[in-house]
Amino acid sequence: MKNTYEPQLIYDMFDHYGFNVLRIDQFDSGNFAKIRAELNIELLGAGQLLEVATRLISLEKNENLDVQVIMIDMRHCTMTLNILVREQEATLIG
Protein backbone atom coordinates (compact mmCIF):
# COMPACT_ATOMS: atom_id res chain seq x y z
CA MET A 1 0.00 0.00 0.00
CA LYS A 2 1.38 3.38 -0.99
CA ASN A 3 -1.08 5.64 0.87
CA THR A 4 -4.42 5.66 2.66
CA TYR A 5 -6.24 8.21 0.52
CA GLU A 6 -8.60 5.67 -1.08
CA PRO A 7 -10.80 3.98 1.55
CA GLN A 8 -12.06 1.37 -0.93
CA LEU A 9 -8.52 0.02 -1.28
CA ILE A 10 -8.37 -0.37 2.51
CA TYR A 11 -11.74 -2.18 2.55
CA ASP A 12 -10.57 -4.51 -0.23
CA MET A 13 -7.18 -5.15 1.34
CA PHE A 14 -8.63 -6.10 4.72
CA ASP A 15 -11.30 -8.22 3.03
CA HIS A 16 -8.53 -10.13 1.25
CA TYR A 17 -7.10 -11.05 4.67
CA GLY A 18 -10.50 -12.06 6.05
CA PHE A 19 -11.46 -8.93 7.98
CA ASN A 20 -14.68 -7.02 7.31
CA VAL A 21 -13.95 -3.33 7.90
CA LEU A 22 -16.81 -1.51 9.60
CA ARG A 23 -15.26 1.94 9.79
CA ILE A 24 -12.21 3.87 8.60
CA ASP A 25 -11.16 7.15 10.22
CA GLN A 26 -8.33 9.62 9.60
CA PHE A 27 -7.42 8.03 6.25
CA ASP A 28 -7.00 11.47 4.64
CA SER A 29 -3.58 11.99 6.21
CA GLY A 30 -2.13 9.77 3.51
CA ASN A 31 -0.01 7.46 5.63
CA PHE A 32 -2.25 6.62 8.61
CA ALA A 33 -5.76 5.31 9.24
CA LYS A 34 -7.84 4.08 12.15
CA ILE A 35 -9.71 0.87 11.37
CA ARG A 36 -12.58 -0.90 13.11
CA ALA A 37 -13.06 -4.43 11.81
CA GLU A 38 -15.20 -7.44 12.64
CA LEU A 39 -13.56 -10.48 14.16
CA ASN A 40 -16.30 -13.01 13.29
CA ILE A 41 -15.32 -14.96 16.42
CA GLU A 42 -17.64 -15.32 19.39
CA LEU A 43 -15.10 -16.72 21.84
CA LEU A 44 -11.46 -15.74 21.43
CA GLY A 45 -9.22 -18.58 22.54
CA ALA A 46 -5.46 -18.76 22.19
CA GLY A 47 -5.70 -20.53 18.82
CA GLN A 48 -8.07 -17.96 17.37
CA LEU A 49 -5.92 -15.12 18.68
CA LEU A 50 -2.88 -16.68 17.01
CA GLU A 51 -4.80 -17.00 13.74
CA VAL A 52 -5.85 -13.32 13.87
CA ALA A 53 -2.26 -12.29 14.66
CA THR A 54 -0.92 -14.40 11.79
CA ARG A 55 -3.30 -12.75 9.31
CA LEU A 56 -2.31 -9.29 10.61
CA ILE A 57 1.39 -10.16 10.30
CA SER A 58 0.81 -11.27 6.69
CA LEU A 59 -1.07 -8.04 5.99
CA GLU A 60 1.80 -5.99 7.44
CA LYS A 61 4.45 -7.80 5.43
CA ASN A 62 2.64 -8.01 2.09
CA GLU A 63 1.10 -4.53 2.14
CA ASN A 64 4.09 -2.60 3.55
CA LEU A 65 2.24 -1.50 6.71
CA ASP A 66 2.76 -1.28 10.42
CA VAL A 67 -0.34 -2.50 12.26
CA GLN A 68 -1.02 -1.55 15.87
CA VAL A 69 -3.79 -3.39 17.72
CA ILE A 70 -5.50 -0.77 19.86
CA MET A 71 -8.40 -2.77 21.25
CA ILE A 72 -10.14 -6.11 20.92
CA ASP A 73 -13.81 -5.79 21.90
CA MET A 74 -15.30 -9.23 22.39
CA ARG A 75 -18.66 -7.81 23.46
CA HIS A 76 -19.08 -6.50 19.90
CA CYS A 77 -16.68 -9.00 18.24
CA THR A 78 -14.58 -6.21 16.75
CA MET A 79 -11.05 -4.92 16.90
CA THR A 80 -9.66 -1.43 16.55
CA LEU A 81 -6.38 -1.03 14.68
CA ASN A 82 -4.13 1.75 13.53
CA ILE A 83 -2.31 1.25 10.25
CA LEU A 84 0.73 3.21 9.20
CA VAL A 85 2.14 3.01 5.67
CA ARG A 86 5.86 2.34 5.79
CA GLU A 87 7.99 4.79 3.88
CA GLN A 88 9.40 3.51 0.64
CA GLU A 89 13.17 3.43 0.65
CA ALA A 90 14.61 5.46 -2.18
CA THR A 91 17.33 3.69 -4.11
CA LEU A 92 19.82 5.54 -6.24
CA ILE A 93 21.43 3.89 -9.20
CA GLY A 94 24.76 5.44 -9.73
Domains (range + CATH), the chain: 7-85 (3.30.1360)
Report the alpha-carbon distance of residue 32 to residue 71 in Å, rounded.
17
Q: What is the pLDDT along the chain (94 residues), one digit of tens a residue?
A: 899 999 999 999 999 999 999 999 999 989 999 999 999 898 999 999 999 999 999 999 999 999 999 999 999 999 999 999 998 654 445 4
DSSP state of 74: T
Q: Residue 33, SS3?
A: strand
First-to-final CA distance of the chain: 27
pTM of whole model > 0.85?
A: yes
Alpha helices in 1-94 (DSSP H): 7-16, 46-63
Q: Cα dihedral sign for 57, 39, 21, 79? A: negative
